[in-house]
Structure 1
Amino acid sequence: MKIFRKELLVFIITIFLSVNAACQTKKSSVTESESKIEKKKKKKRKGKVRLPDIDLSHWKVTLPVTNEKGKPYEIEPPEILDFAKNEKAKPYMYIDSTKGAIVFHAMPTESKTANTKYTRSELREQMEPGNNNVNWTFADGAYMKGKLAMDQTTKDSEGKYHRTIIMQIHGRLTNEQRDLIGAKDNNAPPILKIYWDKGKVRIKTKELKDLNASDEEILHEDAWGNDEGFNFEQEVGFKKFTLEVKVSEGKMVIILNKSEYKVYENIHMRRWGIFENYFKAGNYFQSRDEGAFSKVRYYELEVSH
């Protein structure tokens, strides 16, 4: 009888331990399953909000809307870091969190900058935040890389897409150069304009009209003319693409999608070394047609010197 009781007790303990172990295994399995579900939910939630990889601390933006003085509205650092909260900026520069990009929206308005008839929603590099007077030369070297796409653009009366400038290198006179030639401002020509042009990437640069012109003479804007332009072979259309611009003394290289290169290394580039420069990126819309507009998405933008 005692042996039977002992065996019964062992049997009951064994059953208890087995049931307890099974419960623990089930609990562990449920916990692991719930953990996986929660991770999937978090991943899904995270996937809904994507932010562009762009540091705006060294950029200011010009928008196609006027300020209280009737001039183009600009936002400089540090205010530009909170541009998404700026009510005046919202229609023209905003975050598309589904695509992880900043959208630059431009259309014909009365908000035109000096020396142009077109409007823009465009960033201007500021090496020293808030200061336009600190810039770089080709001898200093410079690099800009952007990942971008045309989001939307209208067509002209012939059914052709309107074009827009998506990147620039703009020249600038120093105060001394400005005073030397009696210019009204520090504006100098853009040595580089990169267009989205009917689905392709087109480059325009400047050339000296007179190669024998003096250093003082070439400071004048009318000393420079436009080259014939260059089109990359591949068509980017409305797809995402990458552009790189590399500058060094007497040389400028533009790279599309790491597969096509255009190199400028000539007397014009060497003589351009007299100017200071700054990068621009965004949407400088090239039409005054009624109802026309374009939207350019920038996913990434980086600059180094």
Structure 2
Amino acid sequence: MSWLSLCFLSCDSSSDEIKSEVEQEVIEEEEIIEEEQEVEEEIEEVKVEGVDYFLPNIDLGNWKVTLPIGSPDEVNPPEIIDYATDERLLPFMYNDSTDGALVFYTSPGSSTANSSYSRTELREQIVPGSNSTNWTFAQGGRMKGTLSVPEISVDDGGDFHRTLVMQIHGRLTNEQRDLIGENDNNAPPMLKIYWQKERVRVLTKKLKNINATDEEILYTDAWEDNESHTFSEVVGNDKFTLEVVVSEGRMEIILNDSESVVYNDIHIEKWGVFENYFKAGNYLQTIENNAFAYVKYYELEVMH
């Protein structure tokens, strides 16, 4: 073989090697570019709370919820903490991440023993998972929530139905229950706060006989509805803030930090015999077919 032939063979081989190296470098560069693009896409998919989505500012560690299904069904802490993935709760209690709300939906269905109405409603539990530890007015308490009623059905006359969004419910101690021969610890609700006709309406209880004995006032039928109070502001479907502050012989309800109503009469004083717990959510006050209500809570806090 001639020198020239060797040169050609050598040159061709070198050229092929260089070409191969260049092609490999191009492939590696393309792979790097693809990896960088994938990383960029992953970064773009990471959403930021408060920017891309919003969550409600509510700690459910001391609340249980009653649902309008089952006997009715209840979900206690700690299970309620996982409400966002709990199939029992998803139709009735879920997040609206567009505005940071915890949504409570209800329609006529299962009801509790002392009511014909259905609810998706939270019940305070000072000791998580137990209803036995509660508080008195002498011990005091405060509940504050930011909420709205974005949708609610209307009756046959075209008027909005109403729903309860907050309560203070009474409870007999075991000793009181046994003293009057009752088979449960139920006592009347001292406070009901309604969304009604686009306003906030407050309803309390009063004694039928202010001279009733300490034992007589333990009976549910010793109490009747007091005159209600409707705040002047029209809240409609907009957000509003409600605050309930109780202390010995006194209860105040405040709407949007601007209007308030105070109860500090003999009826509140006598009420001090009962234990109490807070409630918040959506307690629809109708059993009409096709009725429904949505209540959104953005913030909810309780202090004692």
Q: TM-score, normalised by structure 1?
A: 0.84
Per the alignment, residue 209 of structure 2 pairs with: 210
Per the alignment, residue 270 of structure 1 pairs with: 269
Distance 1:115 1:46, change over 3 A: closer
Per the alignment, residue 295 of structure 1 pairs with: 294
Of 36, 42, 49, the match for 2:53: 49
Give the letter for the 2:55 counterpart.
Answer: L
Structure 2 residue runs without a partner (length 5+): 1-42
Per the alignment, residue 258 of structure 1 pairs with: 257
- SS of 2:212's partner is coil
Distance 1:45 1:76, change over 3 A: closer
Give the letter for the 1:172 counterpart.
Answer: R
Shift of 1:151: 1.8
Shift of 1:114: 1.0
The answer as to whether partners of 2:49 and 2:55 remain within 8 angstroms in 1 is no
What number of residue pairs does the alignment pair up? 263
- SS of 1:103's partner is strand
Q: Does 1:78 align with 2:78?
A: yes
Per the alignment, residue 29 of structure 1 pairs with: none
Shift of 1:213: 0.2
Give the letter for the 1:217 counterpart.
Answer: E
Residues 79-109 of structure 1: per-residue CA shift (max 9 Å, x gap): 0000111111110001101110110001001
Per the alignment, residue 105 of structure 1 pairs with: 105
Give the letter for the 1:149 counterpart.
Answer: S
Residues 10-47 of structure 1: per-residue CA shift (max 9 Å, x gap): xxxxxxxxxxxxxxxxxxxxxxxxxxxxx999787852
Residues 197-241 of structure 1: per-residue CA shift (max 9 Å, x gap): 010000000000001000000000000010120100000000000
Correspondence list, 1:180-191, <5 A: 180-191=179-190
Distance 1:99 1:93 in 2: 15
Per the alignment, residue 67 of structure 2 pairs with: 63
Correspondence list, 1:1-305, <5 A: 47-66=51-70, 71-109=71-109, 111-305=110-304
Percent identity over the alignment?
Answer: 58
The answer as to whether partners of 2:135 and 2:275 remain within 8 angstroms in 1 is yes
- SS of 1:235's partner is coil
Per the alignment, residue 13 of structure 2 pairs with: none
- SS of 1:176's partner is helix
Distance 1:102 1:46 in 2: 15
- SS of 1:72's partner is coil
Distance 1:40 1:202 in 2: 47
Distance 1:121 1:43 in 2: 30
Give the letter for the 1:280 counterpart.
Answer: K
The answer as to whether partners of 2:47 and 2:53 remain within 8 angstroms in 1 is no
Distance 2:181 2:98 in 1: 50
Distance 2:126 2:45 in 1: 42
Structure 1 residue runs without a partner (length 5+): 1-38
| CA RMSD in angstroms, aligned pairs only | 1.6
Q: TM-score, normalised by structure 2?
A: 0.84
Shift of 1:48: 2.6
Distance 1:93 1:45, change over 3 A: closer
Distance 1:296 1:222, change over 3 A: same
- SS of 2:233's partner is strand
Give the letter for the 2:301 counterpart.
Answer: E
Give the letter for the 1:224 counterpart.
Answer: W
Moved beyond 3 Å, runs of 4+:
39-46
Distance 2:57 2:130 in 1: 23
Larger radius of gyration: 2
Distance 1:209 1:41, change over 3 A: same
